[in-house]
Amino acid sequence: MYKKNKLIIFDTTLRDGEQSPGVTLSVDEKVVIAKQLSRLGVDVVEAGFPVASPGDFLAVQKIAQEVGHLMEGREKVGKPITVCGFSRAVPKDIEATFQAIKDAPCHMIHTALATSDIHLKYKLNMSRDQCIERAVSAVKLAKSFCKDVEFSPEDGARSDPEFLIEVLSKVIAAGATVVNVADTVGYKTPREFGNLVAYLIEHVKDSDKVMWSVHCHNDLGLATANTLAGITNGALQVEVTMNGIGERAGNTSLEEVIMNIQTRSLEYPVYHTINTKLLVPTSKMVSDLTGMAVQPNKAIVGRNAFLHESGIHQDGVLKNKETYEIIRPEDVGVYTSNILLGKHSGRHAIKTRLEEIGYGGNSLTDDQMNNVFSRFKNLADSKKSAVTDDDLLAIISDLFSRA
Ligand code: KIV
Ligand code: ZN
């Protein structure tokens, strides 16, 4: 029996995910999501792009200060979440990123530069030599600030593999500790992407000294398949977002990768330390705060993911759930609550229900919790029917919009 490696879950919901059209999160909303990601067991949170705006800087800094040391729910992970900030390969970004993340006990700078000819020619107006020079000096500068530095060749999957080998070998020599193969436009097939990862690992100099990461987009609906192909070909870090949110058709979804390697564990040489029971609650929270609805038939976290409509299926499930269920709903946090929330409900019931919709543990401060409780009581008093999850979510959204 071979030994499995731990898969590092790098969550970029707050950086690439927030780049979804129409999504903007406030500083407090980002902090509450980061707390939940920490409880979920995510290894690295990419908290934002500090130079993008003063609000982004503040959010990354607050996450470093308020979430970077938390250990609640992280027994299996064994250490606090690493707080990462994103920067282009330019000194002002890298310096600002370090200022924003430095208060977290574990922190990392992520710097990126496009390497494909199409990006070099039309976007950056840069030669290949200039690209190498810029990438190397960015990594050196980041390394002068912190020991963990990730480099991403943007549009790496459409870059000339031989040029990619040269760039990655040089950024590793300059101090990069993670190299991230990015399929920025979701172009590759799983076979091609897996082969590319294997080829790079085989040919890049000192490839065994760094963590290999993959970052996929979903333009052709293949982000999860490509990420899994990356894992089977040697990647030990995956960059993902909750509900797969992100630019255009989105990023690889965290819940899909986790439940694939859990459900089909013999297929993958890795294990994870995510608390899967928090997947659905976290999905609800992210959907609520970003305003991005989850499609009903979305794998793992969609409303219909565990519902059975046809008579034949219902008959089968009633006889034995395994006829049509490959995952137990309770393992991903699908709850069927028998507690009705109304004016007689106490704090315990509210707290339990909040946990089930993503606001458990320390995600809300004591003040925020008191505020939710008193608004709940007012609403329950004035309502003829029970207080629903949507009512609770509305109370929470209102809380954040007034903060
Ligand atoms: O899609 C992408 O290429 C990115 C990075 C810059 C890693 O988000
Ligand atoms: Zn991306």
pTM reported for the whole predicted model: 0.93
Residue 386: the pLDDT is 86
Mean confidence (pLDDT) of the chain: 95
Task: Please list, in sequence order, all residues whose beta carbon lies within 8 angstroms of the beta carbon of residue 342, skipping any fewer than 6 positions away.
Answer: 380, 383, 386, 387
Radius of gyration over alpha carbons of the chain, in Å?
A: 22
The answer to whether residue 301 scores a pLDDT higher than 80 is yes
Q: How far is the CA of 86 from the centre of ligand 2 (A)?
A: 11
The owner of tokens 């029971």 is 277
* Tens-digit pLDDT profile for residues 28-45: 999 999 999 999 999 999
* Tens-digit pLDDT profile for residues 6-30: 999 999 999 999 998 889 999 999 9
Q: What is d(CA 398, CA 403) in angstroms, rounded to the nearest whole number?
A: 9
* Tens-digit pLDDT profile for residues 363-379: 888 999 999 999 999 99
Residue 83: the pLDDT is 98
Q: How far is the CA of 30 from the centre of ligand 1 (A)?
A: 20
Q: What is d(CA 164, CA 147) in angstroms, rounded to the nearest whole number?
A: 23
Q: How far is the CA of 84 from the centre of ligand 1 (A)?
A: 14
**What percent of the chain has pLDDT above 90?**
81
Identify the band that residue 96 occupies on the pLDDT scale cut at 50, 70 and 90: very high
Residue 403: the pLDDT is 58
Taking the CA of residue 154 as reference, the ligand 1 atom at the shortest distance is 3
- Residues near ligand 1 (Cβ within 6 A): 16, 112, 152, 154, 180, 182, 184, 215, 217
Taking the CA of residue 239 as reference, the ligand 1 atom at the shortest distance is 7
End-to-end CA distance of the chain: 53
The answer to whether residue 1 scores a pLDDT higher than 70 is no
209, two tokens: 């000294």
Beta strands at 82-88 and 44-48: parallel, antiparallel or unpaired: parallel
The answer to whether residue 384 scores a pLDDT higher than 80 is no
